[in-house]
Amino acid sequence: MSQELATRYPLVLVPGMLGFVRALVYPYWFGIVPALRRGGAQVYPVQVSPLHSSEVRGEQLLIIIEDICRRTGAEKVNLIGHSQGALSARYAAAKRPDRVASVTSVAGPNHGSELADHLERTAPGDSAQGRILKAVLHGLAVVLGWLETGWRRDPLPIDVHASHQSLTRAGVALFNQAYPQGLPEVWGGEGPAEVNGVRYYSWSGTLQPGRTDQGLNRFDGSNYFCRLFSRSFVREKGRCDGMVGRFSSHLGQVIGDDYPLDHLDIVNQSLGAVGKGAEPVRLFTEHAARLKAAGL
């Protein structure tokens, strides 16, 4: 087996909202985990509450990190978080920098999501629309939890309201006051590459203007939904992946922020049916090599 991606510390993949490891036969990180393992990396896709606050998910992640370190003998881990998973990874690194070698944000709403703000305005929790949305999301979380683990006595807690508030710009602003590590001081800039011994990285995508330029795959269903969601953006109109804005995703060293990938394609969902020129798996394998070269 090749060892070109054998990082010093294990890679821990943290999913976003409504995330899972494997729902029946469908993996959240489609094709990414096998590619990393073929290169010799130790990779652990993990499960935290599909819907809850970033802090609660972060506390769950801390327990998982301790277990991985105990089982592997590693002193630290490299955290790679998609979407809200990036916020939970940041929380874990802030609480236990001695256990985290690096945090990588993949399309993370590090300054909040304009889509979450839009839903808060148009479907507030006490409205009929809000109650319906909450019931649908809660039901999805329960189903995904069952597909992931089967019936269990200790299902992970679900809190739709806490999850939503954790993703609004106001909610993330409060989170950032408590956990500012890696954040840029200037909007659209880069943040400190290292804080308290933890390296910080980020990358994200944007919806490209026009279907011809995008080179879409007709089976890429997520792109249609992300284009619909992108209509809710104002500050980063035309500069988002459908759920997170380009500059809102910045954290630490920005590897790239305009890859031709929507919010779900960036972790190779839609069974890998992404548009031409988009290579989400390659972004992960290149990053593993980057972490290895940095001694992480």
Catalytic residues: 83, 241, 263
Which residue spans within the chain are E strands per DSSP? 11-14, 22-23, 26-27, 43-45, 77-82, 100-106, 194-195, 198-205, 253-259
SS3 202: strand
Torsion angles phi and psi, residue 131, rounded to 5: -65, -40
Do residues 51 and 17 lie in contact, with contact meaning Cβ atoms separated by under 8 Å? Answer: yes
Beta pairing, strands 26-27 & 198-205? unpaired
Beta pairing, strands 253-259 & 26-27? unpaired
d(CA 147, CA 23): 5
Q: What are the angstrom distances between the C-alpha of 2 and each of 35, 37, 115?
A: 11, 9, 41
Which residue is it, tokens 């990779």? Answer: 43
d(CA 4, CA 7): 8
Token pair, residue 252, equals 């630490």
